Every structure is written in structure tokens, then in C-alpha cells.
Amino acid sequence: MASSFSITQTQHQIATRSSTALGVSYLESLSEKPGNVVPVTQYQNYLDSLSTEQPRSSSVTTSSTPAAVAESTSPPSGSTGFCHAPFEYFHFDNLSSKGPRATFDWGTPQDWSRKLADDGVFRAGSWYCSEGGWESPNGKAVTEVFYMIRGHGCLGDSDGNKHYFGPGDTVIIPKGHTGRWDVNTPIHKVWAVNAHSNVEETGPVIPVKVFYYKDLSPDCLTDTSANDPLYGNTGSVPSASNTYYDVGPTKVGAWTCEPGTFEVANGVRQWFHMLEGTMFITDSSDGISKRCVAGDTIMLPAGWSGYVDVIEPVKKVFTVAL
């Protein structure tokens, strides 16, 4: 039986065509506001990026409202060593409403959220927001990384440059960023935040970074089995990765691995979201093992030790907080 988190190529094409119409309507509405310039070229470039490669599998829904799944209100499971949450943990019905946003200039944006874990510096959770837009004039206090489950949005930099994103895309908002948010269709995302001390980006403009689902294709990854960014060395088990963002204490990228087992000793502090495959993570400290599949979100603390058993080829996006 196909996973409820997967999306077929036909569904993705339909969703892309629908998002094009929604995006054009949104851009037309912007043009009616004095002083606004319609960024058609940038938006079209984003749509072109979607059509370059169709996702084979991802935790994406295409319905107008969150898909109904079994309600789960229990805490994320795991041991003292790691934290694991299935996709149901972040189902819309399990998110807490934060009410309407205090400031906005179009739409009626309202927030819902739920936290996964927080060690005082590195934390993670999920966020849902309805349509609307607002300015973000104050420098962002943390570096945020998020993976888009559904919806379409745009983040603007202080120089007016715009970054469009949609399902399957990964977005990095560096500490110190200023600009604006626009939620073009309701957004549901899973996120990780690194509350590091200093603004690491330099220059008058701190830009948002986006890497798209097409950037996760095999030809974009390199063999890192002997120098793995997450686990050090996967031994005889083939792994490949690409680090798309590496600034100060934050690294963001994609990781794949073929079936096999390897041991991890003194691993890096990391967050990851499973896109494909099946693997088990076993904590050496207490022997607790968790099955991780597409749609799951996992956090491992600094110095974590244990075993990784890849049952089916895995693909995931990750964030490392040093």
C-alpha cells in the first residue's frame, strides 16, 4: 500500500499548475497596490525549478486542508539520547493555535505550531500558517531551517530580492535576516532552529537560501561514505550527501544511504526529516530502537552514540548545530 505521505508525478503536475494560477492571482493582487512591482520573472523561475525533476516520494499533501490521520497527542518518543516524532504528531489537529498575527498588510494570517524538542540552543517543531503577508524589519534572532510539507510562500530580503518556495523545498533564514514574509497558500512546515550567539553572515544584506527538491537528485550528491557529515564514517555502507549551507555553527544538506548497518560514536547534534526509505536508530545508552520512515522527524544530541540500520534506501534533509 502506498504511503499516505507520497505524491505521484501526476498529482505534482496538477499541484504545480494550480500553484501557478494561484501565484498569478496573487501577483495580480499585488499589482493593484500602489508602489508594488510584480516579480513575474522570479516567480516563473521558481515554477521552472519545480518542473526540472519530479519528486519520487516526499511528505507532501495536495488537498486544500490537512489530510485526516489518526490523532496523536502523546509526546515524541525516543530515549534520553534522541527524540523521534511520526508525521501524525504534527497533524493540524495536534497543533496549538497562536491566533491571528499582530501585524500584516494583506490576508488574514494565523499561526498554529507544536514543538518537538529544545535543548536550550537547538530546537525543532512544526508550523502552519494561513494566507497573508507581513514585514519583518527586525533582525532574526536565530538561524531557522525548514522543510516545506505543503503550501507556497515567498521570503523577501532587505534589498527586495524574493525567494519563492513550495512543497519539497528546504529554506534557510540566517540569523540577522530582515525582509518580509508572504504566505501565498496555507503553509505547513517542519523546522529546526539554531540559537547561536553571533550573526555569521556578512554584508549589508543577509539573504535567504532555498534549495529545491530537484537539488536532492543523485547527480547533485557525492559519495561521502568515508567522511560522512552526519556520522563520520559509514564504513562499507554507501552513503552520499551534499551540504548546501555551511556558515558558522549551522550546516544544512541532503543525505542518502543504501541498506546496511553502521555504528556511530560521538555523533554531531542534528535534526533531520525523512523523505524516503526505512531505517532504525538504536541508542547505545539504553538500547531503545525506533523505526524511521518518510514523514518522520528526528533529533539527535551532540555526542550521540548508537547504531543505524538502513532497511530500504533512505533520503533525508538535515541540519547540524555545532
Sequence-ordered strand ranges (E) for the chain: 77-78, 83-85, 96-100, 106-107, 110-118, 122-129, 132-136, 143-157, 162-165, 170-173, 179-194, 209-211, 222-223, 239-247, 250-257, 260-267, 270-283, 289-293, 297-300, 304-321
Residues forming a β-bridge with 157: 179
Whether 278 contacts 312, CB under 8 Å: yes
Rounded CA separation 232/224 (Å): 9
Supply the pLDDT for residue 93: 96
Q: Look at residue 179 in the predicted model and tell me its pLDDT.
A: 98
CB 316 within 8 A of CB 273: yes
**What pLDDT sits at residue 211?**
97
Handedness of CA 267, 268, 273, 274 (dihedral sign): negative
pTM, 2 dp? 0.80
pLDDT of residue 77: 61
The pair phi, psi for residue 220, each rounded to 5°, is: -95, -5
138: three-class secondary structure by DSSP? coil
| Residues pairing with 239 in the sheet | 257
CA-to-CA separations, 157 to 42, 164, 180, 208, in angstroms, rounded: 13, 12, 7, 7
| φ and ψ of 112, to 5 deg | -135, 145
Asked if 254 and 276 count as a contact pair (C-beta separation under 8 A), the reply is: no
State the residue for C-alpha cell 525516543: 78
In tens, the pLDDT along 243-298 reads 999 999 999 999 999 999 999 999 999 999 999 999 999 999 999 999 999 999 99
> Across the 322 residues of the chain, what is the mean pLDDT of every consecutive 10-residue run?
37 40 45 43 55 40 33 52 92 96 97 96 98 98 98 98 98 98 98 98 96 96 96 95 98 98 96 98 94 98 96 98 96
pLDDT tens per residue across span 172-209: 999 999 999 999 999 999 999 999 999 999 899 999 99
